[in-house]
Structure 1
């Protein structure tokens, strides 16, 4: 607990970020039930205003269902370029003001103010930073100040929208105790259902369960859950560095004109870095393919796409690029795939025009890859290349 005693972490979260941006662009939407997301029959809700939430609408819900629940809601097609632009604006304000911060998502930040209490005062500093963000971006933002990332995040969620709160060191358990267990990050529906069946409804009750019992019930996650329920979190604030691209290349053992083999390699490579993209909670807006021929001459081509992290979309774009690029019919020595124009975002809520079924499929696939390794689950068309890496001459 010595580490926590010396820390002051502010968690800042832009209130209904997508909706707030749309309200800036169209002030007539303010105070109205607003749905942001895909406009197709299979689109999902990416975000919704607080007025829409009163009708039971939430992120990830099929757009058609949301429109039935609130027939008078304003539906706006998502514009990720605009959201990314406003996110960069807020990021720049924070970057200019504080020495150490973590950008957890497109609209969420952790700021390490450790030591600031001796000079300026962490609460006053956080309050002035909030006012500057509102002044320069026009967006509403809330923050929670506490001794660690966990408590500051929960505090922010409790005070939204347009709120601020400080949880002094030593008061973490007092603050968390009356809250529902579902307010603890990491407690999903499955774990929550198990605990609720046992009569564990509040964080206070959860914190009093012996750690061995939680381990027997939930395995290793039970140990971490016990720490969270007691307000303990020693995770550091990870310094923000904007990654420009994600890429991979493959040099063949034998130069080849075997198009089937090359396509298999491209599928495997695209799947690999698309998974990495989703792990980093990012989307790409530009795809590039590189070819190096046997004479070492190298060519590259790229295309701008709608922001995505879905394998099926990216694989199709990579194939199109390769087809248009490979015109010489010479032996190929190397192929490469690169994603650029990266922005924060998650495929669960940001793939605006995809169906719930495709979202759940990708979530399930990523869960298996995270547990057992990406090589244990891949498309059959890409698996052939892995099993037989030697191309036909």
Structure 2
């Protein structure tokens, strides 16, 4: 029996942060808008299509962006709103999709393989897009194809606020005229190498002998050739199976010292936040767990604005502990869990000190990776020496 025809839809919220800002302030519609950090030190998080026409791009230094588009309106960003809208779109998709992956805060893959026995996958995807737009008022584009790679490139071609279906068997023809830079992973170095070989379009790649590409680019050359044929085996990873990051500590002796328990809580939150950053993830939910000597276990969680920072997670963990802990009761086990994980797609800064904070965390994590995780700790977690 033949395998069912693969159908993968890729959804992407257009200029997501800008779109949310425009919903909250309709006077921004149709104008060159840049969301990002400070005018002097900041970076562009995202920008409207009106600003892109002047060459403004995500992750560009704000000084450069303002030089290219001096009349642009600079918006600081309201991260809580982005989290709210992202969750809203996720809920709409989760209610309808048989299997979906949340690739980032504003990007989703839906696997409709085998569903053509029950409905037309293309019409179903159009209907879902319509529902998202009607309910949230956010513009969203999609590409539908037989694999994730082609679907994502189709979305890119469909923007802004459009959709495109690449029918089975048409993958290679669709990709052929596009520049090789459309493939993710083709950086400046690879691009220059390909240009020196006379390769400019994806068709040029597909017509080059696989051995020649492998000789010039190694394993990446082989991958590139298969991609140019429209072949991609990446799977859609179910969102509800996205792993949480957690840690817990069972104490050798039951503990009643609240200062000690809070010190442990901070240490554990630091630990899971570090792991979060190593996985290049953001978290949207934090939970604290307490087990008492009689093995009664209680936990409490709360949703939060997507973050990867200790200083935003620790106060929430402490607040959850105070709401959960039965005063005076000895504690056998304490735990912290981060869930609702998504890829770290927030480029640049949304607040004045965000760049500095991100640089600080990167520096701290680099030191931990080099010399060991125990070297740098929050002051509260360092145990006082006897004496």
* TMscore range, shorter length: 0.7 to 0.9
Question: What is the CA–CA distance in structure 2 between the aligned matches of 1:67 and 1:146, rounded to whole Å?
Answer: 38
Instruction: List alignment gaps of at least 5 residues for structure 1.
Output: 383-390
Question: What is the CA–CA distance in structure 1 between the aligned matches of 2:300 and 2:114, rounded to whole Å?
Answer: 49
Query: Secondary structure, in 3 states, of the residue corresponding to 2:193?
Result: helix
Instruction: Tell me how far 1:14 sits from its aligned partner.
Output: 1.2
Question: What is the CA–CA distance in structure 1 between the aligned matches of 2:160 and 2:153, rounded to whole Å?
Answer: 13
Question: What is the CA–CA distance in structure 2 between the aligned matches of 1:205 and 1:360, rounded to whole Å?
Answer: 41
Partner of 1:270: 270
Change (3 A) 1:377 1:41: farther
C-alpha contact 2:265 2:335 (8 A) present in aligned 1? no
Give the paired residue count.
Answer: 376
Instruction: Tell me how far 1:234 sits from its aligned partner.
Output: 1.6
Change (3 A) 1:314 1:95: closer
Instruction: Tell me how far 1:271 sits from its aligned partner.
Output: 4.8
Partner of 1:281: 281
Comparing 92-101 with 12-21, greater Cα deviation is found at 92-101
Query: Secondary structure, in 3 states, of the residue corresponding to 1:237?
Result: coil
Partner of 1:104: 103
Question: What is the CA–CA distance in structure 2 between the aligned matches of 1:284 and 1:118, rounded to whole Å?
Answer: 36
Change (3 A) 1:267 1:351: farther
Question: What is the CA–CA distance in structure 1 between the aligned matches of 2:70 and 2:158, rounded to whole Å?
Answer: 29
Partner of 1:202: 201
Alignment of 1:1-393 (within 5 A): 6-39=5-38, 41-241=40-240, 246-250=245-249, 270-271=270-271, 273-277=273-277, 279=279, 281-284=281-284, 307-310=306-309, 313=311, 336-339=335-338, 342=340, 344=342, 346=344, 349=347, 351-353=349-351, 380-381=375-376
C-alpha contact 1:310 1:347 (8 A) present in aligned 2? no
Query: Secondary structure, in 3 states, of the residue corresponding to 1:75?
Result: strand
Instruction: Tell me how far 1:196 sits from its aligned partner.
Output: 2.9
Change (3 A) 1:285 1:193: farther
Change (3 A) 1:119 1:245: closer
C-alpha contact 2:45 2:347 (8 A) present in aligned 1? yes
Question: What is the CA–CA distance in structure 2 between the aligned matches of 1:60 and 1:145, rounded to whole Å?
Answer: 28
Q: Deviations over 1:197-226 (max 9, x none)?
A: 333221122223343444444443333333
Instruction: Tell me how far 1:182 sits from its aligned partner.
Output: 0.9
Q: Deviations over 1:209-250 (max 9, x none)?
A: 343444444443333333222211122222221769532134
Q: Deviations over 1:259-292 (max 9, x none)?
A: 9xx9899669725543335626324576x78899
Change (3 A) 1:350 1:251: farther
Question: What is the CA–CA distance in structure 2 between the aligned matches of 1:308 and 1:364, rounded to whole Å?
Answer: 18
Comparing 271-280 with 74-83, greater Cα deviation is found at 271-280
TM-score, normalised via structure 1 length? 0.75
Question: What is the CA–CA distance in structure 2 between the aligned matches of 1:344 and 1:171, rounded to whole Å?
Answer: 32
Question: What is the CA–CA distance in structure 1 between the aligned matches of 2:208 and 2:356, rounded to whole Å?
Answer: 37
Q: Give the superposed CA RMSD.
A: 4.6
Instruction: Tell me how far 1:48 sits from its aligned partner.
Output: 0.6
Question: What is the CA–CA distance in structure 1 between the aligned matches of 2:189 and 2:164, rounded to whole Å?
Answer: 30
Instruction: List alignment gaps of at least 5 residues for structure 2.
Output: 378-384
Q: Deviations over 1:57-113 (max 9, x none)?
A: 111122333233322212222112211211222222222222122211121111122
